Structure 1
Amino acid sequence: MSEMWTTAVAGAAAGLGVAMPLGAMGVLLIQEGMRDRRNAIAAAAAVAVVDLAYAAVATALGPLVASALSGVEAWVRLVSAAVLMVIALRGLWASRSAGAEAGSADDPVAPPGRDAGGPARTFARFAALTLVNPTTALYFAALTTAQGAALRGGAAGTVFVAGVFAASLVWQQLLVAASGFTGARIGARARAWTFRIGFGLVAVYAVKVALPLP
């Protein structure tokens, strides 16, 4: 049971690592919350569902890759850790910009128009915007390949993915709830700190999966 709790916490931390950096998608959620709360809830759910899908695919394939490379597990972990660290450092560098609007794990695209439609259309639009970002897929692929054996059991993989989904969904819904207080825009300083915290989690993960060194 304690191992499952550890796996769940690891999944939640991974979900926060990919969700917390606040760029275009986060700003879009806040703007959507100011316009229509129902649509914003659907949009937040869409982002979390895409995070879940990427995590599920990576969790299914990661242990297979690790098994195929049996005998060089330490080097697989080191390469995966290097990929995660590059993602983290790139995000942290982006946070130095006063007006950081992009470069987060969930938002490589520019904001769409203001015509949102109903909740179903909003869900589809936000899901499509999140799906086009390859960094999210790369993030989960590196993380789950490095963890390999730990996620090899079906139950462990399911718990990990559930943790990712829960953390991502809670964070996105918090942005929607906060939209009524923060307005349609969020200050550059606050956005930079969400970058630092989110990508800081990714950097911690990178160090964790790299140790012990080969």
Structure 2
Amino acid sequence: MSELMTPTLAGAAAGLGVAMPMGAMSVLLLQEAMRDRRTAVAAAAGIAAVDLGYAALATALGPWVASHISPVEAWVRLASAVILLVIAARGLAGAASPAPAPAPAPAPAPTPASAPASASAPAAAAPAARPAKAFARYVGLTALNPTTALYFAALTTAQGAALGTGPAGAAFLLGVGAASLLWQQALVTLGSLAGTRVPAGARVWTFRLGYGLVAAYALKIAFPLPTLG
């Protein structure tokens, strides 16, 4: 069990690294939580599902790629580290001037007391279908972000040997999925309590912490550095 703790923690760090920076999807999730918590919970699950899906695809292909490039494995690790450092640098640079939080969504108009029961019935039934639609919508929106795919591809290719066994790969994915889902659900809780009124400074620090994890991961996989000759 102890040998699986390392890939699990590595996966958790990777999941937080991609999930914590509060970008456009986080703001949308906060807005969703203001309108309806159940819908936001489904939306958060959709975001985490894409993170897990990209991680699973990269984990499946990473060891195969790594096994075919063993003569230049150190250089591949260095290239992957450079990609991650570029992602981190771009994210940290953007954290200096975060976009202002959008205005809260207007509250729905109250239903007139005189409305017939048959007219209000569809409105009452509509929320039941919203979580599934929100899940699909957020899966599609998150999947369009190529940075997530590139992030996990760089990570898993650089650690192909460590993730080569089934249990280690599964433990890594467990860490990724759990960390991403817990963070997204924490945003849902925050959104339902405080709406989008998240201080700009707090958003900046989520960028710094999230991309700081990415940078730390990059340095971890870069060493030992390749040698010439």
Give the TM-score taking structure 1 as reference length: 0.90
Q: What are the equivalent positions in structure 2 for 1:1-214 lying under 5 Å apart? A: 1-99=1-99, 118-214=130-226
CA contact (8 A) 1:27 1:185 kept: no
- 3-state SS of the aligned residue for 2:70? coil
The aligned amino acid for 2:155 is L
Equivalent-residue separation in structure 1 for 2:150 and 2:30 (angstroms):
26
CA contact (8 A) 2:55 2:152 kept: yes
CA contact (8 A) 2:84 2:214 kept: yes
Report the CA distance between 1:72 and its aligned residue: 1.1
Report the CA distance between 1:181 and its aligned residue: 2.6
Q: RMSD over aligned Cα, in angstroms?
A: 1.7
The 1:193/1:4 distance shift into structure 2, 3 A limit, reads same
Moved more, 65-74 or 114-123: 114-123
Unaligned runs of 5+ in 2: 102-107, 109-125
- 3-state SS of the aligned residue for 1:8? helix
Give the TM-score taking structure 2 as reference length: 0.85
Equivalent-residue separation in structure 2 for 1:99 and 1:164 (angstroms):
27
Runs of 4+ aligned structure 1 residues displaced above 3 Å come to 114-117
The structure with more radius of gyration: 2
The aligned amino acid for 1:186 is V
State the identity as a percent: 64
Report the CA distance between 1:99 and its aligned residue: 2.7
- 3-state SS of the aligned residue for 1:150? coil
CA contact (8 A) 2:43 2:138 kept: yes
The aligned amino acid for 2:131 is P
Deviations 1:97-151 (A, max 9, x none): 14378xxxxxxxxxxxx99961010100011000000000000000000001000
CA contact (8 A) 1:31 1:185 kept: no
The 1:33/1:98 distance shift into structure 2, 3 A limit, reads closer
The aligned amino acid for 1:153 is T
Equivalent-residue separation in structure 1 for 2:219 and 2:100 (angstroms):
25
CA contact (8 A) 1:51 1:165 kept: yes
Q: How many residues align?
A: 202
The 1:32/1:182 distance shift into structure 2, 3 A limit, reads same
The 1:27/1:185 distance shift into structure 2, 3 A limit, reads farther
Equivalent-residue separation in structure 1 for 2:166 and 2:81 (angstroms):
23
Deviations 1:175-195 (A, max 9, x none): 001113322342321111100
Equivalent-residue separation in structure 2 for 1:204 and 1:94 (angstroms):
18
Equivalent-residue separation in structure 2 for 1:134 and 1:141 (angstroms):
11
Equivalent-residue separation in structure 2 for 1:138 and 1:185 (angstroms):
31
